[in-house]
């Protein structure tokens, strides 16, 4: 594909102010981009920005530079960004190039065969059109393309990759990102067993995408006929997921459910019915897919205020449990009654839910063995609670701490359960090799029903966990920056001048993961181990301009209440200490 002459003067303007050469170059790039864009909305958007740049609008010039001076990177998380025109945004040109690049990767990976790809999409803006573009371009490249029958949760797509035994899967979703974002997650079949891509596949796909962008125009990419998956595929997911309950509970706690304006409810409802659960009380304002997410400022159950309507509905019906999925239903949030909370309910942390589900998985592994000897591996990311390792040791199970992301957790050998503190849980690795908020909901509801049958609550069970394994308490500091160099400066300072103590607690050792550590691939992470057994993880966020600090403490002494008090005090000390060190 021919590129515009960057040195040309403002051929775009007749009269008006003189246009700087950089702006002139970007205007030519914008016009070339618009010429191949099949979306009239983004074409108009670019025309308006170009007109403002020509009129001397400095904000428009900066906007054009942001869109065209770099490209939205394809990595192990695929693509994710704001829906808008230009190579540094999510749009039909970028998605078409990604589909053609993935096709080239798959054809190169298995020469002489016909690769296959299943494509799913959620209810976000443009998800359906991005999915259809992908299916048509993959088919046009000689790849068997299968589109899911309608908008569905991400776990159904992850299930389909294994169920259909395809070469790869694409899920068009931005999960719990802001409303105007969308994304493109890629899974691999075959030896990858339906897990998300990892290196070097990500860089190989990215290279093919770059090749397509440099040599072909989107209108010239051949398009072909794709298949539409049969409804039986969804039914198979429903059946497999319902099995996670084990049996229909005879008694159940009262439950409230919210889909957070996402696609989770229709599939979740079918799973709950199949598993023998009662229909929960619904947060009606959030139950249907709505890409505008009108009742929340940020469609993430972790965000303050996101579950306010669920709390209100729970108070209304006297619910004993709140279950929430994020918009693509791959995450799960749980809340329980708490008289000390302002709303009357408290959302459990991802670590609390993960440890309870991990304990359940360990007990089931022991029961399944028949002789009490467990087999399998519990896995979590390095920033998730070390309490999972304590469970693994107690039940003679293997344990693996991986880099962040289910692309790594799902690859743990002989996996029986995995979780990440950011509300992600993998409870059924035999069918889905990714976090799955629907199967996790079934598992947690089954646990809650078992407790309910003996007159106990989830809060009681959390106390039982502390009594057996100690109080594993966790906290997190997110330092948001406007200047990204500050993150690098803090990481460099911690490496060059490692602290001997944090908040007065002596440091035992610092493990730098930048060159890899044990079985872990290199990652920009510092792991600080303190002499009292506490742990601090420091890493830049992979998706936001933040430095993230994870704090984990444990207390084994005294009663349950005393352990909680001691752990909370240590956590507060470490938080104050790390804020001082990173100021």
Give residue for tokens 């995450």.
331
- Mean pLDDT, the chain, whole residue set: 94
Average pLDDT over residues 151-169: 98
pLDDT of residue 1: 47
Start-to-end Cα distance in the chain: 49
| Per-residue DSSP letter, 69 | S
Q: What is the mean pLDDT of residues 152-173?
A: 98
pLDDT at 343 over 70: yes
Candidates 175, 374, 439, 474; catalytic one: 175
CA proximity to 238, closest of 501, 432, 67, 505 = 432
Q: What are phi and psi of 260, to 5 degrees?
A: 55, 40
pLDDT of res. 372: 56
The string of pLDDT tens digits covering residues 173-219 is 999 999 999 999 999 999 999 999 999 999 999 999 999 999 999 99
The reported pTM is 0.94
From CA 461, how far away is CA 21, in angstroms rounded? 66
Q: What pLDDT shows up at residue 75?
A: 85
Q: Does the structure show a pLDDT above 80 at 542?
A: no
Which pLDDT band, with edges at 50, 70 and 90, does 16 fall under? low
Residues 41-90 have pLDDT tens digits of 999 999 999 999 999 999 999 999 999 999 999 987 899 999 999 999 99
All structural domains of the chain: 1-69 (no CATH), 72-229 (3.40.120.10), 252-468 (3.40.120.10), 470-581 (3.30.310.50)
Question: Average of pLDDT values for 341-365?
Answer: 97
pLDDT at residue 18 is higher than 90: no
How buried is 510 (Cβ within 10 angstroms: 0-12 exposed, 13-18 middle, 19+ buried)? middle
The answer, yes or no, to whether residue 7 has pLDDT greater than 60, is: no
Q: Report the pLDDT averaged over residues 248-267.
A: 96
Residue 9 has pLDDT above 60, yes or no: no
Weakest mean pLDDT among 8-22, 29-43, 247-261, 485-499:
8-22
| In contact, 505 and 577? CB cutoff 8 Å | yes
Average pLDDT of span 393-407: 95
| Least confident stretch, 133-147, 239-253, 367-381 | 367-381
Please state, in angstroms and rounded to a whole number, the distance separating the CA atoms of residues 252 and 255: 9
pLDDT in tens, 88-145: 999 999 999 999 999 999 999 999 999 999 999 999 999 999 999 999 999 999 999 9
Q: What span, in angstroms and rounded, lies between the C-alpha atoms of 519 and 532? A: 25
Residue 428 has pLDDT above 70, yes or no: yes
7 noted as active-site residue: no
Distance CA 282, CA 316 (A): 11
pLDDT mean over 332-343: 96
Judge whether residue 4 has pLDDT over 90. Answer: no
Residue 230 CA to residue 277 CA, distance in Å, equals 26
Rounded mean pLDDT, 354-369:
93
Q: In what order do the strands lie in the sheet with 501-502?
A: 471-480, 546-555, 535-540, 526-530, 505-512, 501-502
- Rg for the chain, CA atoms, rounded: 25
């Amino acid at each position: 594909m021919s590129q515009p002459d960057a040195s040309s003067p403002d051929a775009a303007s007749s009269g008006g102010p003189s246009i700087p050469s950089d702006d002139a170059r970007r205007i030519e790039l914008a016009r070339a981009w618009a010429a191949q864009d099949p979306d009239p909305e983004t074409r108009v958007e670019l025309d308006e920005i170009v007109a403002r740049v020509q009129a001397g609008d400095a904000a428009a010039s900066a906007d054009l530079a942001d869109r065209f001076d770099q490209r939205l990177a394809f990595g192990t998380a695929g693509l994710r960004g704001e829906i808008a025109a230009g190579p540094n945004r999510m749009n039909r040109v970028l998605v078409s190039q990604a589909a053609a690049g993935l096709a080239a990767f798959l054809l190169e990976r298995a020469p002489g065969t016909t690769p296959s790809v299943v494509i799913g999409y959620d209810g976000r803006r443009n998800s359906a059109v991005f999915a259809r573009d992908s299916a048509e371009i993959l088919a046009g490249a000689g790849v068997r393309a299968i589109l899911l029958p309608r908008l569905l949760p991400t776990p159904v797509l992850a299930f389909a990759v294994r169920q259909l035994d395809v070469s790869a899967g694409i899920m068009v979703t931005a999960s719990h990102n802001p409303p105007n974002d969308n994304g493109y997650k890629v899974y691999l079949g075959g030896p990858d067993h339906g897990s998300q891509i990892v290196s070097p596949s990500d860089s190989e796909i990215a290279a093919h995408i770059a090749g397509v962008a440099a040599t072909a125009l989107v209108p010239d990419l051949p398009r072909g006929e794709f298949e539409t998956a049969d409804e039986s595929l969804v039914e198979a997911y429903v059946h497999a997921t319902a099995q996670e309950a084990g049996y229909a509970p005879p008694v159940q706690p009262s439950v409230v459910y919210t889909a957070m304006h996402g696609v989770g409810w229709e599939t979740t409802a079918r799973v709950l019915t199949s598993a023998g659960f009662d229909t929960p009380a619904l947060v009606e304002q959030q139950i249907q897919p709505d890409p505008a997410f009108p009742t929340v400022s940020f469609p993430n159950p972790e965000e303050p205020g996101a579950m306010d309507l669920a709390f209100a509905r729970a108070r209304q019906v006297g619910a004993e449990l709140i279950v929430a999925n994020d918009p693509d239903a791959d995450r799960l949030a749980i809340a329980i009654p708490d008289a000390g909370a302002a709303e009357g309910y408290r959302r459990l942390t991802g670590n609390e839910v993960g440890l309870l589900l991990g304990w359940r998985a360990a007990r089931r592994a022991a029961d399944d063995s028949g002789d009490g000897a467990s087999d399998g591996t519990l896995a979590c990311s390095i920033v998730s609670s070390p309490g999972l390792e304590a469970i693994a040791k107690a039940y003679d199970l293997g344990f693996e701490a991986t880099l962040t992301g289910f692309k790594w957790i799902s690859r743990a050998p002989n996996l029986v359960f995995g979780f990440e503190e950011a509300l992600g849980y993998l409870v059924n690795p035999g069918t889905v090799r990714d976090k799955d908020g629907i199967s996790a909901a079934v598992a947690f509801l089954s646990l809650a029903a078992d407790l309910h049958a003996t007159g106990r609550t989830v809060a009681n069970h959390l106390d039982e966990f502390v009594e057996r394994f100690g109080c594993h308490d966790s906290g997190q500091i997110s330092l948001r920056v406007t200047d990204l160099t500050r993150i690098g400066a803090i990481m460099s300072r911690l490496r060059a001048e490692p602290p001997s103590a944090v908040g007065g607690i002596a440091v035992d050792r610092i493990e730098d993961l930048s060159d890899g550590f044990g079985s872990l691939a290199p990652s920009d992470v510092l792991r600080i181990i303190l002499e009292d057994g506490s742990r601090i993880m420091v890493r830049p966020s992979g998706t936001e301009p933040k430095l993230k600090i994870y704090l984990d403490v444990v207390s084994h002494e005294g009663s349950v209440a005393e352990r909680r008090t001691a752990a909370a005090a240590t956590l507060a000390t470490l938080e104050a200490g790390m804020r001082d060190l990173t100021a």
